[in-house]
Structure 1
């Protein structure tokens, strides 16, 4: 009596390997994005607090303006890191256009963080250093980070194809 055929085993075709590679690349990209984001956060946080609550507090009465300035400085740092490391395989040859798109996405991000800060300051009446940082650099930054990542991938760093 012949042996019963072996049960069918899942065939290791091309699509599972491509899917696994895509998932791995996404994970690496997210880790790189987070690393650059952490560096930009340190720059943003430092500039924000030095200008608003530190020895360079000439704009202490304008927290939203300080937030915009700090975010602008951090944006330059993050564009360089994301262009040349995080999304290096997806960057385009049109640097100026890419930078303008990056800046436009970051304007959306600064609107989100500034809205959180303005809500905390002017609606809730919270004006301590802790409240400013929780609103702008905590809640606002998390919301802006999600917004930026999605638009960086789909609008700014979309490759040449």
Structure 2
């Protein structure tokens, strides 16, 4: 249980920095440069995924099996699925519930990130950064 608690804290640190990157890029694109809402959310999530990979690989899950092509492919496949989940939820809130102003769009983004992060946590720890059974 203690190891699981540490894992959640490390996931939260990396994820929190990724959320910061996600919001920064999202707001820069949508409210600063006038990009469309879906373009902004997808690009922001994609940039955050790239920074998160480094954090997960070298901090949160550094004790897990060594980096492999399989791990990298799985990370980006599941991250892409996470972006799809996050984008669908964002679209529902932004377009479906009229959360399209500066505050509403950020609330929609926050809710979509939280829900998609639960999905990411489960798939990253289960399939991407598997524990090496030979190491403890």
TM-score (norm 1): 0.77
CA RMSD, Structure 1 to Structure 2 (Å) = 1.4
* Alpha-carbon contact 2:78-2:120 (below 8 Å) kept: yes
| 1:141 equivalent among 113, 116, 133 | 113
Deviating 4+ runs (over 2 angstroms): none
* Alpha-carbon contact 2:99-2:108 (below 8 Å) kept: no
Over alpha carbons, which structure has the higher Rg? 1
TM-score (norm 2): 0.90
**What corresponds to 2:7 in structure 1?**
29
Higher helix share: 2
Q: Give the secondary-structure state (helix, strand or coil) at the position aligned to 1:158.
A: coil
2: CA distance, partners of 1:160 / 1:32: 18
Point out where structure 1 has 5 or more consecutive residues left out of the alignment: 1-22
**What corresponds to 1:68 in structure 2?**
42
Residue-by-residue CA offset, 1:132-159 (whole Å, 9 max, x unaligned): 11112x2111111110000001110114
**Are positions 1:84 and 2:58 aligned together?**
yes
* Alpha-carbon contact 1:33-1:82 (below 8 Å) kept: yes
* Aligned counterparts, 1:38-49, within 5 A: 38-49=16-27
